[in-house]
Amino acid sequence: MSPANRTALPVQGRTSAEVLAELEGFAADDPHYQQGRLWSLVYYLDEAHADFLAAAYRRFSSANGLNPTAFKSLKRFENEIIAAVAEMLHGTPEVCGVVTSGGTESCLLAAKTYRDLARTRGVTRPEMVLPVTAHVAWFKASEYFGIQVRLLPLDENLRADVKLLPRLLNRNTVLIVGSAPEYPHGTIDPIEAMGAMALERKIPLHVDACVGGFILPFMAMNGRALPAWDYRVPGVTSISADIHKYGFAAKGASTITYRDLAYLKHQMFVYQDWPGGVFASPALLGTRPGGAYAAAWAAMQHFGQSGYRDLARRTIEAFDTMRAGIAAMPELYVMGEPCGPLLGFGSRTPEVNIFAVGDQMDAKGWTINRLQRPDGLHAMITAGHLAVVDDYLRDLKDAVATVKAHPELAGGGSAATYGMLSHVPLRGLVRQKVLDLFAQMYRPGGANVDLHAVPAPEPGLKGRLNAQVERLARWYVQRRLRRQSRH
Ligand SMILES: *Cc1c(COP(=O)(O)O)cnc(C)c1O
């Protein structure tokens, strides 16, 4: 067990061996992703691959891509990564782009680029159309860059409802976003239809393939039928694709590519009057981590098409097993029409509270994300999960049976909290509650707040708001339980 948190720098520095040994101890408290118990966040293969990435990272860990003219090595990594991604996404030779630190940076940059492009034609109140399932990074972009969101509802298969798109477009629309696939349910938006509308109205269309970019092309090569979503669709003007997800790079590597340089130019930042020198930057970061780019390049060279196809094959085998296994349980349903490698599932019956099922799965040592609107559980499936998918399905069946036999479980554990977070109608209060929890985590000395254990309300207005949210939550959960017991 690790000792109590340190509250200051050690006065006397410690040996590297001692520090490294202590790091091992810290890792012991983390999710057990090496054994496939974690169904989000980590794309892990094995120790040999982790060591390979670490070696590539280490060699360039001091190198800085801030100024792309200084480190020729890094610019070369970037050029070769972007060229390979452009080819993978069926772009023409005009496709160009930048390596970024992650999907969020890629999405933020696309939003900024199109806002600034629209400024050149006088748009001062920019708007963008986001499907309800667009990644939160886009909502962050909206806040950061002052671009108003117009939400595009979903059709019955949880895809962006393209019929409703025209009425959301106007002269302030700077951008339309579609996902391939979206993160919550793994469905691909109707990119071809969206592209046709975007082209007709000369509005840029960004395809967010942050999670799909390094697997969908290889699924297609393996013979999987997928709808068109990449640069072959004429209206698509840019695509984000993360290397640190299904590209199995080290964390800190994504790509943003554009159909041509005329778009990318609006991403660039130049300030010519800084006393520190004339400054130009292609992306959000100042210092850009050379290690992450080296590891990303190394991963792509190491896998190549053959390696990524093999990973995709194993991933989709696990995905198909999972999807069929869940669909075979009468109490559960798979949400929408997932193409893989992600899926969401919910409960068909009020007798089975899906969040209570999640609690049972937690107790069996799985770490699973929760979905809301509709309530559900989530799985981001990787090749490593092929070895455990049968265990997972067996435990899931057990968990469903337990919850069916004990409906009161819906009112306890984290099920109550998740029920509250997704069902309290006053969304502003939920937002406030979560902000408060985060503030707790980031106060000096940062407590590690557990969402499962909602802390006692503090005094004052905020405290009263929190107490109010909790009363509402309890009332909602109780009401749902009463309704269920009437069935
Ligand atoms: C993961 C993801 C992002 C954000 O990427 P990060 O690397 O987590 O910042 C954006 N869009 C989609 C669809 C994603 O799955």
Residue 290's pLDDT is what? 96
| CATH number, residue 351 | 3.90.1150.10
Instruction: Give the integer Cα–Cα distance in Å for 233 and 213.
Output: 15
Q: Is the CB of 114 under 6 A from ligand 1?
A: no
103 lines ligand 1 (CB under 6 A): yes
**104 in contact with ligand 1, CB cutoff 6 A:** yes
Instruction: Identify whether residues 459 and 325 lie together within a single domain.
Output: no
Classify residue 355: in a domain, yes or no: yes
Atom 4 in ligand 1: residue holding the nearest Cα: 103
Asked if residue 202 and residue 215 are part of one domain, the reply reads yes
User: Ligand 1 center to residue 464 CA distance, Å?
Assistant: 35
What's the gap in Å between 244 CA and the centre of ligand 1? Answer: 10
Vertex 296: Cα angle to 382 and 309 (nearest 5): 40
Domain span including residue 163: 58-301
Distance in angstroms (rounded) separating the CA atoms of residues 212 and 246 = 7
Residue 32 domain-assigned?
no
Are 224 and 366 part of one and the same domain?
no
Q: Are residues 146 and 200 in the same domain?
A: yes
- Ligand 1 centroid–CA 43 distance in Å is 13
In a domain, 322, yes or no: yes
Dihedral of CA atoms 443, 444, 445, 448 in degrees, nearest 10, equals: 10
What tokens does 127 get?
């708007």
Tell me how far CA of residue 286 lies from CA of 65, 100, 295, 413, 415, in angstroms: 8, 11, 19, 43, 42
In this structure, the number of other CB atoms found within 10 A of the CB of residue 46 comes to: 11
Total residue length of the chain: 487
211 CB within 6 A, ligand 1: yes
Same domain, 246 and 345: no
| Same domain flag for 441 and 461 | yes
**Given the CA of residue 135, which atom of ligand 1 is nearest to it?**
11
Helix pair 389-405, 354-363: axis angle to 10 deg: 120
Ligand 1 pocket, residue 141 CB under 6 Å: no
* Distance between Cα 209 and ligand 1 center (Å): 8
Residue 91 tokens read as 């772009």
* Cβ(335) – ligand 1 distance below 6 Å: no
Instruction: Choose the final residue of a domain: 258, 274, 301.
Output: 301
Residue 10 lies in a domain: no
CATH number, position 166: 3.40.640.10
Q: Are residues 118 and 149 in the same domain?
A: yes
Q: Give nearest CA residue, ligand 1 atom 5.
A: 103
Q: What is the pLDDT of residue 138?
A: 98
Can you read off the two tokens belonging to residue 315?
A: 């991933």
User: What's the 126 CA to ligand 1 centre distance in angstroms?
Assistant: 23
Mutate to test the pocket of ligand 1, among 130, 135, 238, 369 (most ligand atoms within 8 A of CB): 135
pLDDT of residue 243: 98
Question: Do residue 320 and residue 394 come from a single domain?
Answer: yes
DSSP H or E stretch at residue 95: none
Q: Are 179 and 131 in contact (CB under 8 A)?
A: yes
134 lines ligand 1 (CB under 6 A): no
- According to DSSP, the β-strands at 173-179 and 148-152 are unpaired
Asked if residue 179 has its Cβ within 6 Å of ligand 1, the reply is yes
Cα of 336 vs centre of ligand 1, distance in Å, is: 20
Q: Tens digit of pLDDT per residue, the chain (487 long)? A: 456 677 889 999 999 999 999 999 999 888 889 999 999 999 999 999 999 999 999 999 999 988 888 899 999 999 999 999 999 999 999 999 999 999 999 999 999 999 999 999 999 999 999 999 999 999 999 999 999 999 999 999 999 999 999 999 999 999 999 999 999 999 999 999 999 999 999 999 999 999 999 999 999 999 999 999 999 999 999 999 999 999 999 999 999 999 999 999 999 999 999 999 999 999 999 999 999 999 999 999 999 999 999 999 999 999 999 999 999 999 999 999 999 999 999 999 999 999 999 999 999 999 999 999 999 999 999 999 999 999 999 999 999 999 999 999 999 889 988 888 888 888 888 898 889 888 888 888 777 766 555 444 455 555 666 666 666 666 666 666 666 555 5
Alpha helices by DSSP H, listed for 60-163, are 72-88, 103-119, 136-145
186 is a domain residue = yes
Last residue of a domain, one of 393, 417, 441: 417
Q: Whose CA is nearest to atom 15 of ligand 1?
A: 211
Do residue 395 and residue 479 come from a single domain?
no
User: Residue for token digits 């130009």?
Assistant: 280
Question: What's the distance, Cα to Cα, between the start and end of the chain in Å?
Answer: 48
Q: Tell me the chain's radius of gyration from C-alpha atoms.
A: 24
Buried b / exposed e over 447-459, threshold 16 CB at 10 Å, is eebeeeebeebee
Split into its structural domains, the chain has a count of: 3
**Ligand 1 neighbourhood includes 107 CB (under 6 angstroms):** yes
Closest CA to 400 of 332, 453, 477, 487: 332
Domain final position from 301, 326, 349: 301
Residue 466 neighbours by CB under 8 Å, 6+ apart: 432, 433, 436, 457, 458
CA of residue 352 to ligand 1 center, whole Å: 31
Rounded to the nearest angstrom, the distance between the alpha carbon of 30 and the centre of ligand 1 is 21
Whether 376 maps to a domain, the answer reads: yes
In-domain check, residue 26: no
Q: Is 195 contained in some domain?
A: yes
Residue 446 carries which side chain, given as an amino acid letter? G
> Are residues 193 and 338 part of one domain?
no
Assess whether the C-beta atom of 208 lies below 6 angstroms from ligand 1. Answer: yes
Same domain? 433 vs 448: yes
The reply to whether 411 and 445 lie within a common domain is: no
- 132 CA from centroid of ligand 1 (Å): 15
pTM: 0.92
Ligand 1 centre to CA of 211 (Å) is 6
- Residues in contact with 408: Cβ distance below 8 Å, sequence separation at least 6, in sequence order: 481
